[in-house]
Structure 1
Amino acid sequence: MASWGKLTFAQKKCVTATGKLMQRTDMVSGGARIGLAISGGVDSFLMLKVMTIRQAIMPFPVELMALHVNPGFDPASHAPLVRWCADNGMAAHIELTDFGPRAHSEENRKNSPCFWCAMQRRKRLFELCRDYNLTHLAFGHNADDNVVTFFMNVVQNGRADGLSANEPFFGGKLKVIRPTMLLDKKTVIKAANQWELPIWENVCPSNGYTKRDEIHEWLRTMWKKDKRIKNNIFNAITRQQVDLTSKKV
């Protein structure tokens, strides 16, 4: 039996679907140094666990490093991640910032708190990738995130774009990847619970009150009475984004 033990159906689905997407989009190759952006939520922690398994399965060596930028609402919230990385021999960079409180202060008058905070954290993650000479930055976005992003872009920006599974930045020096983008949220939550991952609560005051939350709730009302609508939307948008990514690489 493999070192990670016997997998449940949901866990196996997460590992298999992630490998399928990584292969289809030529996501990584031998010698890749992958930074895993971990927020502490179920999506990113699930990605962290799955990528440790994929690392053992891949026919070539890759390095993994957890990256956590604490927005500053709870200075001690990342303690479970510190323990998990220590217990699992995972390299990690974890730092405390004041991005969250500043995003909700008078300093940020022009943008929404979520936009400003996310922009600052993304910028810091890019800097860490540069400092640690990482070749990839992985985010734990799933199929639900892809669908919501697609409709947000349609409504707010007039663009029919979702999330890219594999996208080059800085002239190809860094690739932003989303290895768990084929997974639906329900499967992610189920597998994470079965692995007993130490997920912590999001205490941001804007949590649950964002435009993204509003779009997601609107989508839920559409497919609430007919699961075929949800399946059709997910399949159409997922195929489009994966096909676009496959053509780029």
Structure 2
Amino acid sequence: MFESKKQKQYTVQKIRQTVGKAINQYNMIEADDHILVAVSGGKDSLALLEILSCRRKALPIHYHIHAAHVITEDVPYQIDVDWLSDFCNKLDVKLHLIHTKANLETAGNKKPCFACSRNRRKELFKLTNELGIKKLAFGHHLDDAVETLVMNMAQHANISSIPAQLEMFDGKIQVIRPLIFLTNSEMKHYALIMGFPSLKRECPYEDHTIRYKAREIVEQMTELNPKARINLFNSMNKIDFEYLP
């Protein structure tokens, strides 16, 4: 589908405004904040980094942005680090490259993907603390939240998901998710317009089976009701406890 320059500009503006809405609603970013953005190399984290950088140019307040990418040396997965470094330089963002190992041989019964993901988060929390930064930003969006809700209900028998913001370690670190009001489709569209390359290459250990199943369930519900996706997301703020067993 062909889009005019004007249409693309409107889409970019609308998506950036939606990010601003989430930031303002949850008071995610304040003047002189230092924010560490976790960059996996996928479209969502690249978009988040770019949007936060562009947004601060238009605001009367200033905040500092750092980017972090975790290189797990014993996992056959990599991104184009040179491109990412150049991207961060253009955005005036300091890039931190963390070299680590997942030590999969000591993961026990845990799947390699789980062990690697857990180790990456550990390294990000560690860096955030070492830099004296309080806010850690992830590129999770609305679809991630809805799929996680479905997964947790089916797999763990609880109603939980990924919150827009979450204080951890007795308030020392605050996790924020500025893309939480945007869908996967919108993020794909934004990445296409901005011309982001596919830096992230699929890891052979990665297991998406459960999440794919949850995504299929959401898609099936959307066929019944086009508003099902957003309704599922909004339902997390409208729990009627008196009508539950």
TM-score by length of 1: 0.84
Match of 2:153 in 1: 154
1:75 and 1:199, CA in 2 relative to 1: closer, same or farther beyond 3 A? closer
Give the 3-state SS of the residue equivalent to 1:86 in structure 2: helix
Match of 1:57 in 2: 58
Offset of residue 45 of structure 1: 0.8
Query: Equivalences for 1:1-249 in 2 at 5 Å?
Result: 8-72=9-73, 73-75=76-78, 77-99=80-102, 102-103=103-104, 106-207=105-206, 209-224=208-223, 226-237=225-236, 239=237
Q: Is this contact kept in 1: 2:112–2:206, CA < 8 A? A: no
Give the 3-state SS of the residue equivalent to 1:129 in structure 2: helix
In 1, distance between residues paired with 2:86 and 2:47?
16
1:214 and 1:80, CA in 2 relative to 1: closer, same or farther beyond 3 A? farther
Give the 3-state SS of the residue equivalent to 1:127 in structure 2: helix
Paired amino acid for 1:98: K
Paired amino acid for 2:145: N
Paired amino acid for 1:61: H
Offset of residue 217 of structure 1: 2.5
Name structure 1 gaps, 5 residues minimum. 242-249
Paired amino acid for 1:20: K
Give the 3-state SS of the residue equivalent to 1:8 in structure 2: helix
TM-score by length of 2: 0.85
Offset of residue 110 of structure 1: 1.8
- The alignment-based identity, stated in percent, is 28
1:9 and 1:240, CA in 2 relative to 1: closer, same or farther beyond 3 A? farther
Runs of 4 or more off by more than 4 Å in structure 1? none
Can you list the C-alpha shifts for 1:137-157, whole angstroms capped at 9, x where unaligned? 000000000101111111122
Can you list the C-alpha shifts for 1:209-229, whole angstroms capped at 9, x where unaligned? 342223223322332464233
Q: Is this contact kept in 2: 1:70–1:78, CA < 8 A? A: no
Give the 3-state SS of the residue equivalent to 1:160 in structure 2: coil
Can you list the C-alpha shifts for 1:150-195, whole angstroms capped at 9, x where unaligned? 1111112222112111111122222100011000111111111111
Matched length: 232
Moved more, 162-171 or 129-138: 162-171
1:10 and 1:123, CA in 2 relative to 1: closer, same or farther beyond 3 A? same
Can you list the C-alpha shifts for 1:109-145, whole angstroms capped at 9, x where unaligned? 2212222111110010001001111120000000000
Name structure 2 gaps, 5 residues minimum. 240-245
In 2, distance between residues paired with 1:149 and 1:41?
19
In 2, distance between residues paired with 1:146 and 1:54?
24
Give the 3-state SS of the residue equivalent to 2:140 in structure 1: coil
Can you list the C-alpha shifts for 1:68-111, whole angstroms capped at 9, x where unaligned? 10234245533321121123321110133332xx43xx422221
In 1, distance between residues paired with 2:161 and 2:68?
24
Moved more, 219-228 or 23-32: 219-228
Q: Is this contact kept in 2: 1:114–1:210, CA < 8 A? A: no
